[in-house]
Structure 1
Amino acid sequence: MWSVPKSLSRPPRHGRIRIACNPTERDRRGSILVLAAAILVVIFAMVAFSVDMSYIALTKTQLQIAADGAALAGCLELRDGLGPQPINTTMETMSISGAAATAVAGANRNGDLTATYLSVQRDLQFGQAVWDENSQRWTTNWGAAPYNCVRVIACRNSDESPNGDRPLEMMFAPVMGIDTASLSTSATAALLPGVGFKISSGSAGTIDVLPIALDVGTWEALINGTGSDDYSYNPSTGAVTSGGDGILEVDLYPYGNGALPPGNRGTVDLGSPNNSTNDLKRQILYGLNAYDLSFFGGESFVVDCPARMPNLATYSPTVST
């Protein structure tokens, strides 16, 4: 027979039941809320930083556009100060160029301003761009006249300025103690001499350009006075006869020269992309016409030639359209 201990046969006592609680669980209450708040602060800070940086980048791009346009406008006004008999004096050239630059800059907004401010005395610099034979590059002598080069600085870095060049005010950065940002950009434009030709619009005239190119070796030999003189040309009658006339000649279609590329050796397509034999014949006999030049964007055909750059004091530039 089995017997049940008295301790197990007693009925349970009525009363409260106490359950032990881990104290660390009580300490974790609300921790997710604190962590979420901290993350939101970081996210908002990153968004604010991105907004201000984008605002700075946009404003600097707008300043660069204004500087580019102002430099080009000011440079185009320098041409009347060049040549043996310039139309304007050096001071007049600077004044007219500065007025053109400030007008174009003022037509461009930047940041919170509807116009870009330029100070002629501070933000414009005039000089002379010249070709350096030793370095084979263009160099600029600032302050040297006659001027063919201008540099424009568009900036927003003058504290407490009443003009439109005060620093850019930030949107959210003041929370971190950064109220403004100083910005500055620059652009340079120059009138570079070149060798070119022009036919006025509607003119029936032509220019004497032969649509055939020579190799460098043949051209340099001709320039150095090396070549044959077997024929004479009479400009009055157009007749060509045997015998020299002191003018060197070049064989445009040499035979048996393995150093030259195959084909007709250097025929240049000046004009229509569908240039035909008749077009080449016309250009050889009469030169290029206004229709040929129209494929180069206007009335002019200009070839940059820095190695043959003339003296700016005697050079009269032609602005092409």
Structure 2
Amino acid sequence: MERLLEIKDLYVEYQTDDARVFAVNGINLKVGKGETLGLVGETGAGKTTTALSIMRLLPEKVGKIKGGTIILNGKDVTAATEADMRLLRGETVSMIFQDPMTSLNPVLTVGDQIAEVLDLHKKYRNKEEVESRVDEILKMVGLPPERKNDYPHQFSGGMKQRIVIAIALACEPLLLLADEPTTALDVTIQAQVLALMDELKQNLNTAMILITHDLGVVAKSCDRVAIMYAGEIIETGTVEQIFSGDHHHPYTVGLFESIPDLKKKTRRLHPIDGLMPDPTDLPEGCKFHTRCPQCMDICKNKIPSPMEKEGHVICCHLYNETTD
């Protein structure tokens, strides 16, 4: 599969007057053209920061890429100028932000907001061509074109999410970053939005990074999965390897044990004990060792090396051949 995105040793920090937050700590990721990667982890793991780094939309003067490279379609995003990024955003990479309620401009019609993307990136000869394309895009996401003159407050939550997806896909980008696109929606609308995204992905051959907490969504929509914890990728593999494999990182095991199993009768779920470490004061060694039920002495002071088998990578001393 031809590679579209490659992230190498990415480090991202947020620096304020009060603290220095180590948000992303040396992650490596690869996404092929037309592939869907699920990025999974607890709140605060660094998933959204990773997506914002790809878009170069980190908070100005606060968020900084401290090291590593992001190669997107052959271009190094970390070295690109802001003018270069304006050309890349929308046309090469687009993002569906977490909350559709706050992602739309309340004083512009939805048609104008879609047309703005087209005006910036595509050279249409006249306004009629732009309007025609806006109508096509609205039909593509299942909305009647007649509603292009309505304002965001006139739409339901599910419709707003469709409009956000329409804006993101207007220029048919090569890579779509979907940051928890179904979190604010009820279950029925969630299924519709996921089906819509999958259909559009197939039609346009768009690659996607799907950021989510929902492992059910990952199983249904993704080709590969990356498990993120405290700013690090601790396990990656195909959906089959993550969901059906014999060996997993203890954190991955904990995530699956937190899900209700309809085939087993139990009084309580088994959540992971403790909390994610403070990103301003991360522990030495394996970042998960403070919560890990299989913690060993080596875990407290040595960062585990990644061990790979048939594309399934686990960063844990339990599977490290050099562990004493």
TM-score band (shorter)?
A: under 0.3
Larger radius of gyration: 1
Higher RCO structure (Cα 8 Å, ≥6 apart): 2
TM-score (norm 2): 0.19
TM-score (norm 1): 0.20
